[in-house]
Chain A
């Protein structure tokens, strides 16, 4: 069974009398542990799709199933629970709290999910994102790549099934972006489903599948042949 099933999704933004059809019937599926790249020109609806899957926003039509459960019509309380336990977000801007250390930033979602701090798990995450040595540093003492790795650690802390990353390497140079993708590849091996928006074709080719969106419609879907499962 697919972990994620998106069917015929539509999204309309209204700005005054103007209607913007950001998504015009998008369908997409993902298996557990699958690594999908979303590519497409600016304004094509990539972020809109990510926000809908992450239940930050509600669609105007279509369905989103996670673990076979329809999520788009859920009440706010259950959508919050979904964001707490099932989905992890990574943004282009890292959105770290400047007064908190790397370790504290990683633990931040535990405040909201009311989870006990499992020190061993935090150490494991720090090791996974390669920040064991930098755990006590505040964001301004870290490089861009390190900051984004903190953000990935933060997305991981509640053991999500899906990680949504919207242009995570958009602010990083290619060598640093490379390190981020090494981490992503490791995460897929652990069974986490990754959906990553990128503009970089070389990076996109490292995922299992590339989905191209143009003007709110999926134009092309191609397997990269890297999926050995």
Chain B
């Protein structure tokens, strides 16, 4: 037996209260841990997703370049277009290895939005060599055929060979292939050749963006300048896209961090209050401890130990809980931020877990200092005389 066993014993005396206090800490820590884990996971997934695009830069219409870029990654429609003549100008710039057009269109079917991704499959497949399909891809000139994403196929129970009535005129389109899952947004897309997309949706000679792959990535700024000499064209590099999205997420993150700060302050007040209550309840017992040889320091250490035990257990439970509940938390975060990559957003990093638990220990020290000070200053005779039970 020592001061620490004494502290443990005491916590076990008021099991419910101890557990509730631990739960309070656990909730605060689990939110903190989730957010830190999310932060790491998010950046990782976003970078991976942008890398998967297989392009170095996007040429988009002048206006809101980042919105345009993120919509092209994310899916969605921008009501601004480049001309096909811009595409040829870009292709003529030396150092541009591949320049391939993208036209997006969105339509509603039975109330759910569907996205059409108009592409030239010959070039697009060079940029995305990891695209594989059950069935086949379409050629650039083939009419009335499409490839659909695996997610879409499963959701709508579509099979290769099936005919869809597509576009405003309900033209019959044959599904010639189903794209294997990529984990990206295209899992939900209709992939149609650029010319067919333009024809069916009445957007002749229009494209939303041109995806560019360079011979030499180190020359990216020279090439960007070159491309921007084309009137109406603006360049967004993929690092800019990632940076912008991270900034957008940053502001959402500040909100979440403020929520955590509030949660931490509330649980800190709860801990201090619990400890003060338990010190008050034990006034006479602590007085007796002094009479039988406890020093002020002994009493202080004992009370501080109690708090640290509470917060450390809370910290461990919080990290554990966050790992178990990662799915739920991820859903919540997805709802709260402007852009979420498709992969898992929560990256478990043991270092972050240790930081969170370390934080809990520090929280315990801070919350325990005042109750410990108060109890160590107790006068033994006053304590023993006191009315407190």
Closest-by-CB residue of B relative to A84 is: B293
CB contacts under 8 Å to B, within A44-84, are 51, 54, 56-57, 76-77, 80, 83-84
The answer on a CB contact under 8 Å between A56 and B6 is no
Looking at A28-36, A95-103, A206-214, the stretch in contact with chain B turns out to be: A95-103
Are B293 and A109 within 8 A (Cβ)? yes
The yes or no answer to B230 lying at the interface (CB within 8 A) is no
Contacts A83-B293, A89-B291, A109-B292 hold; do A51 and B13 have CB atoms under 8 A apart?
A: no
Asked whether any CB of chain B lies closer than 8 Å to the CB of A128, the reply is no
Closest Cβ of chain A to B389, distance in Å, is 10
Q: Which residues from A are CB-within-8-Å of B284?
A: 93, 95
Cβ-based interface call for B199 (8 A): no
Tell me, yes or no, whether A111 is within 8 Å of chain B by CB.
yes
Q: B254 interface residue, CB < 8 Å from A?
A: no
* Number of A-B contacts defined by CB within 8 Å: 62
B378 to chain A, nearest CB (A): 11
Partner of A99 from B1, B9, B295 at Cβ < 8 Å? B9
Interface pair A113/B293, CB less than 8 Å apart? yes
A181 adjacent to chain B (CB < 8 Å): no
Residue A158 lies at the interface, judged by CB distance under 8 Å to chain B = yes
Question: Within 8 Å of chain B (Cβ to Cβ): is A107?
Answer: yes
Chain A nearest CB, measured from B62 CB (Å): 75
B50 at the interface (CB under 8 A from A): no
> A158 and B285: CB pair below 8 A?
no
Q: Are B290 and A56 in contact (CB under 8 A)?
A: yes
Query: Cβ of A112 and Cβ of B293 under 8 Å apart?
Result: yes
B13-A99 in contact (CB<8A): yes
Complex CA distance for A51 and B5, rounded to whole angstroms: 29
- Interface 1/0s, chain A 82-122, versus B by CB < 8 A? 01110011010101011110001001111111000100000
Is chain B's binding surface mostly helix, strand, loop or mixed?
helix
B380 within 8 A of A: yes
Q: How many residues of B contact A (CB 8 A)?
A: 24
- Shortest beta-carbon distance, A139 to chain B, in Å? 12
Q: Given A76-B296, A98-B13, A99-B9, answer yes or no on A112-B384 (Cβ-Cβ < 8 Å).
A: no
Complexed CA–CA distance, A57 and B288 (Å):
13
Whether a CB of chain A sits under 8 angstroms from the CB of B140 is no
Q: Could you tell me the distance in whole angstroms from the C-beta of A87 to the nearest C-beta in chain B? A: 9
Q: How far is the CB of B184 from chain A (nearest CB, A)?
A: 59
| A110, B9: Cβ atoms closer than 8 Å | no
**Residue A154 interfacial (CB < 8 Å):** yes
Could you list 12 examples of A-B contacts with CB < 8 Å? A51-B381, A80-B294, A83-B292, A83-B293, A91-B288, A99-B13, A110-B1, A111-B6, A112-B293, A112-B294, A112-B298, A158-B293
Q: A89-B292, A111-B2 are in contact. List 20 more A-B contacts (CB 8 A).
A: A54-B291, A57-B381, A76-B295, A76-B296, A83-B293, A84-B293, A89-B291, A91-B291, A91-B384, A95-B288, A97-B9, A99-B12, A99-B13, A100-B9, A108-B292, A109-B292, A110-B1, A112-B293, A117-B1, A154-B292
Which residues of A are interface residues toward B (Cβ below 8 A)?
51, 54, 56-57, 76-77, 80, 83-85, 88-89, 91, 93, 95, 97-100, 104, 107-113, 117, 154-155, 158
3 tightest CB-CB pairs across the interface, nearest first?
A: A84-B293, A112-B293, A95-B288
